[in-house]
Structure 1
Amino acid sequence: MPVKVQSEDFDAGREVAALRAGHPEVGAVAMFIGTVRDINEGSTVAEMELEHYPGMTERSLEDIVARAKARWNLVDALVIHRIGPMRPQEQIVLVATLSAHRGEAFASCEFIMDYLKTEAPFWKKEQTPEGARWVDARVSDDAALKKWQNAGADA
């Protein structure tokens, strides 16, 4: 199960091509790339730093991908999440899902990202003109997760 937590940037095209290799049954690829914004909660962000709990984070991501594979008929899925300091416009996360049909690819990609935002053990600190601050979980992320739970996707 391809899950990577790394400080280095990634080449999304290369990663997805490697994931697709040898899978002629793939008819759909859905991909999400999250990037560092330059403004958050009304403040300019000069840098964001992501910390994680090694081992636990990878297991959490693997579990999220396994739940998506149990829910949808996926050929494969990939999650790459960066850690360490990053500047605005840098890539943070890649989620890619492969399936025979687009509906499964889109839904599973969104599911993985929604669970990642709420359940994966990452901590985010931003450098702003007001100083460093830890970023709390967003209410909107919890709401996004609930739609899957209400739909029975977490069973």
Structure 2
Amino acid sequence: MKCKQSRALFEALMKGILSSESSAGLRRHLTACKKCDAEYRYFYLGRQILRKDAEEIEPSPFFYARLRARIAAQESEREQESLLPFWDAVRQFAPVTLIIIAFMLTLTIVSLRGQPPITAVEGLLDARYAMSEEGLIFSDELDRDHVLETVLSRGRNGNE
């Protein structure tokens, strides 16, 4: 048996899970090789010290209750955090959306600035000239009956 193989079997020998043939071969190697024998003794002593110092720690009676409370708190935090990405996304897009709306509003105002404003009378006059082209009688005075008649006639013509 080689030194590397014997070192790999130290723990198995201490646990007692090594086969009788392998155990006998390892013991023969340890008696023949002083270096491996010294390493095994250090390994054995280290394990004994660790076993002796490793006392079983009994948790306090409230340990499990506190542990359950912490786990429940973490679960509720996760549920709250699941909503936060949505709001984070909304907060990120809100300034961009406002900038786009302001830009479009500015473009609308600038484009309307060059055009003369349309008054209510001009709108009605345009409607009267359009009516005269459709065969209606044009009169200089605009009265309520004439407007209603025109609206009704347009409604009938549009439905036909």
Shorter-chain TM-score tier: under 0.3
Higher strand fraction: Structure 1 or Structure 2?
Answer: 1
- Higher normalized contact order (CA 8 Å, seq sep 6+, divided by chain length): 1
Pair member with larger Rg: 2
Query: Could you state the TM-score of these two structures normalised by the residue count of structure 2?
Result: 0.20
Q: Give the structure-1-normalised TM-score.
A: 0.21
